[in-house]
Structure 1
């Protein structure tokens, strides 16, 4: 009887040890870095813009219907639910993303510095060319200053800071092309905007070079989406000439400008890789990913709303800047999951899910994320959308895992205590 009991105890302890090791390793082997920092625009803003006073609390993203799909209330995301980065970061092992201005950044290992409506170039540049940008916008330079302030608040020495930076993934999210859209919407011609498109690239490369100089070994630089397909551009820059539109109904010349800028960025990234051969520098091709998404929708049952906003008012594209989503005169579609565009400027959760799935595979391979094959199980996050309970489970997965680790540790400690007690008892019997 004693032998059986002892054997059972050893078996239980062994099982608990295996479970514990598995639980810990399942987190640590997802990707070979422990921190994530993201600068950018409204594509990735998860609560910073609404925290900027006095403008933030009055912004559309601070009120319903933003967040109506998930979690049923506004979170500061410019969407009906989750963003692309929410899904992608969770797959990389970062289920909780903290907005820098949210108040808890010092204790987070995944921080979003992105602010909706923010350009790459600084406010002075736009003042000089006579272009207005939102008063709450924070340029890339300002976001970089936030990051440097944060990193120096969590490390004690220069070497410690360099180690933390080296153990991080940096993303620079100039996806909305605000540096291009603001001037276009305020009367600047495509030819005029083209002249300083390269300045945007130089600023992005400069920021990437700066974090690499601080010790960064992994950087993602995304290209712009084809904004010529977006309802707000299609509405504000509409043309009466059919030849100005491509086969998908997008404004061809606007997208040509985006392609020009993206090509310049890719060429600059190629040079940066030569300059820093030991650094992983990945180009996230949002343009092609979005084209894939749009082609899927235009060839499917939802093609009639492929270029329309879910939340908006009036016109061919259900977009009117004077009746923006959230205003009393705007209306909400019955099912955001059937739409690509949420408010005419930003995407729905369903579209974000699909984009994330398309972009993850290449990024995971480049970043040496060893569980990339299993992480593409998020493929079910497609244009059809998700149920709230599934999303809650996704967000709570790390909480559950931590609880499991705590229980396993408790049982393992108990096993060791019991083992020690039995050894002491045997020793006393011998005496």
Structure 2
């Protein structure tokens, strides 16, 4: 308990601009083993660190150019949300599930990442497993005693949802305006069911992301030359987050009424990506001042219409262009933050992450 107090003390005092906490490095004889945990990750490309098929864009340069220096299956030039959460907990990023048979078994002690780019709580346009199937994979490992109940009780689950369900809904439904509210409710209901399953398997604490402002993603701001966010899509994010918070409050309320021992109040942490994205974009816009840098503009884009970041022609010709300063960008491509973007978002999430200790 005393060690946890020390962690919380440092969490409150360290500057938010720090990208990694000092006890991450095992070479420093400090706090690296203060609060050992495993991290289990479920979700989409905002959390995927290498599960997606090698044919995906994340396995082609310039993805991974900043870290680890080559493509690693991360949808960014470098680190993503999972890496920063793992670092905060003082552990290495957990191994992707698809690598489980090839990985050094000692690496499994950090947990496992089941997130796949393009997925959602339901089936989307992606071929990769949705969140229900990802939890099935996790449950299978628990039943095989790869992870024991003791392992899980001190572990954290990160549940990341970045809007793929809504993108798929928009592609499939003509009457979006009428059917959207009920669809959002179904997404939240399924998400809450997923959280219950994860906790029921024995995971001690769960961090679930609120939805980022979808209307500010470059694929939607391109029509305004990356100057204005889409109010319609941002309203979807707000409604999703409102329903999410209301459902989670109801979950905790029912716990107090029934006298349940499941301890949802202390087990559940919401990572408010919406506020973090808005704050990060505002801060970067202020820092850029009157320069030409625009945080809404992606760093890596197709050189001509029909191409995307990472696309290379038959003769090795790069069909994409990069911004001059990737290290100061917020968005890497049309959907995903750059490493700098995630580092900035992380700085606004740290106070919430403290509740995982």
Is the TM-score greater than 0.5? Answer: yes
Whether 1:37 and 2:23 are equivalent positions in the alignment is: no
Larger Cα-atom Rg: 1
Whether 1:229 and 2:216 are equivalent positions in the alignment is: yes
**Separation of aligned partners in 2, 1:337 and 1:23:** 27
**Separation of aligned partners in 1, 2:62 and 2:33:** 37
Alignment of 1:25-424 (within 5 A): 26-29=31-34, 31=35, 34-49=37-52, 56-103=53-100, 104=103, 107=106, 108=108, 109-121=110-122, 123=123, 133-135=125-127, 137-155=128-146, 161-174=148-161, 176-185=162-171, 188=174, 189-235=176-222, 238=223, 249-274=228-253, 275=255, 276-277=262-263, 279-301=266-288, 304-313=293-302, 322-328=306-312, 329-364=319-354, 366-367=355-356, 369=357
Which string of whole-angstrom CA distances, capped at 9 and with x for unpartnered residues, describes residues 364-401 of structure 1? Answer: 1x12x3xxxxxxxxxxxxxxxxxxxxxxxxxxxxxxxx
Segments ≥4 residues shifted beyond 6 Å: 22-25
Provide the secondary structure at the position in 1 that maps to 2:287: coil
Change (3 A) 1:23 1:305: closer
Structure 2 gap segments, 5+ residues each: 1-26, 256-261, 313-318
Q: CA deviation at 1:101?
A: 0.7
TM-score scaled by length of structure 2: 0.80
More helix by share: 1
Which string of whole-angstrom CA distances, capped at 9 and with x for unpartnered residues, describes residues 91-137 of structure 1? Answer: 2111242111113285412211100000111x3xx6xxxxxx122x2
TM-score scaled by length of structure 1: 0.67
**Separation of aligned partners in 2, 1:325 and 1:249:** 22
**Separation of aligned partners in 1, 2:54 and 2:292:** 35
Change (3 A) 1:303 1:113: farther
Matched length: 310
Does structure 2 conserve the Cα–Cα contact (< 8 Å) formed by 1:172 and 1:204? Answer: no
Provide the secondary structure at the position in 1 that maps to 2:207: strand
Provide the secondary structure at the position in 1 that maps to 2:270: strand
Does structure 2 conserve the Cα–Cα contact (< 8 Å) formed by 1:273 and 1:281? Answer: no
The worse-fitting range, judged by mean Cα deviation, of 343-352 and 176-185 is: 176-185
**Separation of aligned partners in 1, 2:104 and 2:237:** 34
